[in-house]
Amino acid sequence: MNCIVCFAGTCPPDEGYFNLVLYTVDMDNSRKDRRDNTISRRQVLRRMGIISAGAASGFASLRYSNAAVTDPSKVPELRGRINHSLVSWPFRRFGGKWDLDTTCRVARDSGCKSVELVGPDDWPTLAKYGLECAIAPNGTGYVKGLNNTDNHEEVIERTRRMIEAASMAPVRVHSVIAFTGFKYRKADDPSSGVISLEEGAGNTVAGLKKLIPSAERHGINIYLEHLNTRVENDDSRGHPGYQGDDIDYCSDIIRRVGSPCIKLLFDIYHVQIMNGDIISRIREYGTDLIGHIHTAGVPGRSELDDSQEIQYRPIMQSLVDIGYTGFVGHEFIPTRDPLEGIREAIAVCDV
């Protein structure tokens, strides 16, 4: 009955990033008895252009709701030193192609605290299952990024809008993702010329610095992701053309920004393919640079089992050793029973 501007999966696949699109949703279940403290939030959201008046009312009525909490009898007993999160897109696009409710229910019942890389339209569903959102999409995806000043106006504005929406969400949203973008002058045209590494880094630093005031004001972090460029012809597993394909290059960008709210999304799958030496880099970067973690098996971005090469238990222990308390988002593409794969990943990483 009400219109909402939301983030639907229309960008190139891989990390579950979303473009801004309009469609209609039913908000009949929004609460009427909370109007006394929803007006300002509703007005802000409408000005941001992210959701309609009715949707904003529904968001406010759900904010940090404890109505639907995890059933303790269903959650496996974990050590509690790793904060598990489930990245939504692999399980909604592959395997059983779960809907969001199924994804949230499995995450909750497997011991995850978060479902991530979902936008504002999905946050009320996370609230229903007592989950948080460890990291949200930025609204533009990874192709057009901050390495090109031609993209700054759009990318920075959409990221700011997502930060503002996150600050008023019905669940706790911890961070928003960021990207260098592709290295081409026109992101999707390799013949348009190449942005040098030095120029791309400088532009990315400048763009991230412009986002610091919004991130600090709303208490939402921004995490820059490194992606691999070695895996070709499969945009769910590799991204030829992405400029930030060297984790040390990305870490230097974070150092140059110099803000505690701007850190790395350290994706172990991508780092193993492009750089390796994972534990040494975790120890070198520490929590000053690492803000978020993603997992998947190499090769193939599949389950964290004995068919792949990464030893996840010592890597998780190295995170504990440096005092990392952020989230570990499981982002593998299921090749068999996805529920079994999720529980296996959590068991392996539960150090």
The answer to whether 120 touches 6, Cβ cutoff 8 Å, is yes
Mean pLDDT of the region 114-130: 98
Quick check: 66 pLDDT over 80?
no
Mean pLDDT of the region 317-340: 97
More confident residue, 157 or 39: 157
Quick check: 3 pLDDT over 90?
no
Q: The tokens of 270 are what?
A: 């991508």
More confident residue, 50 or 150: 150
pLDDT for 326-337, tens place per residue?
Answer: 999 999 999 999
Mean pLDDT of the region 131-143: 96
pLDDT for 163-186, tens place per residue?
Answer: 999 999 999 999 999 999 999 999
SS3 177: strand
Mean pLDDT of the chain: 84
Instruction: Give the helix/strand (H/E) hosting 42.
Output: helix 39-48
Q: What is the pLDDT of residue 235?
A: 86
SS3 1: coil
pLDDT for 83-110, tens place per residue?
Answer: 999 999 999 999 889 999 999 999 999 9
Residues contacting 288, CB < 8 A, separation 6+: 260, 263
pLDDT for 35-51, tens place per residue?
Answer: 333 333 334 344 444 44
Instruction: Dihedral sign for Cα 154, 156, 161, 165, please.
Output: positive
Write out the chain in H/E/C secondary structure.
Answer: CEEEEEEECCCCCCCCCCEEEEEEECCCCCCCCCHHHCHHHHHHHHHHCCCCHHHHHHHHHHCCCCCCCCCCCCCCCCCCCCEEEEECHHHHHCCCCCCHHHHHHHHHHHCCCEEECCCHHHHHHHHHCCCEECCECCCCCCCCCCCCHHHHHHHHHHHHHHHHHHHCCCCCECEEEEECCECEEECCEEEEEECCHHHHHHHHHHHHHHHHHHHHHHCCEEEEECCCCCCCCCCCCCCCCECCCCHHHHHHHHHHHCCCCEEEEEEHHHHHHHCCCHHHHHHHHHHHHEEEEEECCCCCCCCCCCCCCCCHHHHHHHHHHCCCCCEEEECCCCCCCHHHHHHHHHHHHCC
Mean pLDDT of the region 296-300: 98
Quick check: 20 pLDDT over 60?
no
Residues of the chain above pLDDT 90, percent: 77
- Of 312, 275, 320, nearest to 294 by C-alpha is 312
Q: The tokens of 91 are what?
A: 């399980």
Pick among 3.40.50.2300, 3.40.50.880, 3.20.20.150, 3.90.79.10: CATH of 69-349: 3.20.20.150
φ, ψ for residue 103, nearest 5 deg: -60, -45
Quick check: 74 pLDDT over 90?
no
Predicted model pTM: 0.80
φ, ψ for residue 101, nearest 5 deg: -60, -45
Confidence of residue 75 (pLDDT cuts 50, 70, 90): low
pLDDT for 226-237, tens place per residue?
Answer: 999 999 999 899
SS3 16: coil
